[in-house]
Amino acid sequence: MTVVTNETNPTGAADIPPLIPPLPPLSLYVHIPWCLRKCPYCDFNSHTFKDSFPESEYINALIQDLLQDQVYINGRELHSIFFGGGTPSLLSPASVHRLLSGVRELVTFSPTIEISLEANPGATDVVKFREYHSAGVNRLSIGIQSFNDEHLRELGRVHDGRQARHAVETAALAGFDNLNLDLMHGLPYQDSSSALSDLEIAMSYGVPHLSWYELTLEPNTIFYNQPPELPSENELWSIHKAGTSYLSDHLNQYEISAYSKPGFECRHNVNYWSFGDYIGIGAGAHGKLTSADFGQIVRTAKTRVPDHYMQHAGGRRPGQHHPNGKFGTTQQIETSDLPLEFMMNCLRLKSGLPEAGFTDRTHLPLSSIADFLQRNKERGLLRQGPVIQTTAKGYRYLNSLLEDLV
Q: Look at residues 258, 273, 288 and tell me which one is the last residue of a structural domain.
A: 273
- Do 37 and 50 form a contact (C-beta atoms < 8 A)? no
The C-alpha atoms of residue 185 and residue 236 are separated, in whole angstroms, by 8
- CATH code at position 210: 3.20.20.70
37, part of any domain: yes
138, part of any domain: yes
The C-alpha atoms of residue 235 and residue 186 are separated, in whole angstroms, by 8
Same domain? 235 vs 356 = no
233, part of any domain: yes
Q: Look at residues 253, 273, 293 and tell me which one is the last residue of a structural domain.
A: 273
Same domain? 268 vs 149 = yes
Same domain? 155 vs 242 = yes
Q: Which of 63, 111, 119, 112 is nearest to 93 (CA)?
A: 119
- Do 36 and 50 form a contact (C-beta atoms < 8 A)? no
365, part of any domain: yes
Same domain? 349 vs 268 = no
- What is the structure's pLDDT at 2? 34
Residues spanned by the domain of 394 = 337-403
Same domain? 82 vs 163 = yes
Same domain? 221 vs 345 = no
Model pLDDT for residues 200-231, shown as the tens digit of each residue: 999 999 999 999 999 999 999 999 999 999 99
HEC sequence for the chain: CCCCCECCECCCCCCCCCCCCCCCCEEEEEEECEECCCCCCCCCCCEECCCCCCHHHHHHHHHHHHHHHHHHCCCCCEEEEEEEECCHHHCCHHHHHHHHHHHHHHCCEEEEEEEEEEECCCCCCHHHHHHHHHHCCCEEEEEEECCCHHHHHHCCCCCCHHHHHHHHHHHHHCCCCCEEEEEEECCCCCCHHHHHHHHHHHHHCCCCEEEEEECCCCCCCHHHHCCCCCCCHHHHHHHHHHHHHHHHCCCEEEECCEEECCCCCCHHHHHHHCCCEEEEECCCCEEEEECCCCCCEEEEEECCCHHHHHHCCCCCCCCCCCCCCCCEEEEECCHHHHHHHHHHHHCCECCCEEHHHHHHHHCCCHHHHHHHHHHHHHCCCECCCCEECECHHHHHCHHHHHHCCC
Render the burial of 244-266: b for 16+ CB within 10 Å, e for the rest: eebbeeebebbbebbbbeeebbb
Low-confidence ranges of the chain (pLDDT < 50): 1-18, 315-324
- What is the structure's pLDDT at 315? 40
Beta-carbon contacts of 323 under 8 Å, excluding residues fewer than 6 positions away, are none
- List residues bridging with 48 in a β-sheet: 35
Q: What angle do CA 46, 49, 53 make, to 5 degrees?
A: 100
- Do 238 and 279 form a contact (C-beta atoms < 8 A)? no
Same domain? 74 vs 171 = yes
- What is the structure's pLDDT at 49? 87
- What is the structure's pLDDT at 324? 44
Number of domains present in the structure of the chain = 2
315, part of any domain: no
Q: At what angle do helices 126-135 and 93-106 cross, to 10 degrees?
A: 10
Same domain? 367 vs 266 = no
Same domain? 216 vs 361 = no
- Do 62 and 99 form a contact (C-beta atoms < 8 A)? yes
Q: Which of 104, 111, 196 is nearest to 148 (CA)?
A: 196
149, part of any domain: yes
393, part of any domain: yes
- What is the structure's pLDDT at 22? 82
Same domain? 239 vs 167 = yes
- Do 65 and 282 form a contact (C-beta atoms < 8 A)? yes
51, part of any domain: yes
- What is the structure's pLDDT at 127? 94
- CATH code at position 349: 1.10.10.10
Q: Which of 237, 190, 181 is nearest to 396 (CA)?
A: 237
Model pLDDT for residues 312-349, shown as the tens digit of each residue: 876 444 444 444 457 899 999 999 999 999 999 999 99
- CA torsion sign for 201, 205, 206, 211 is negative
Same domain? 252 vs 381 = no
The C-alpha atoms of residue 89 and residue 34 are separated, in whole angstroms, by 10
- Tell me the CB-side half-sphere exposure of residue 110, using CA atoms within 13 A: 16
Same domain? 266 vs 341 = no
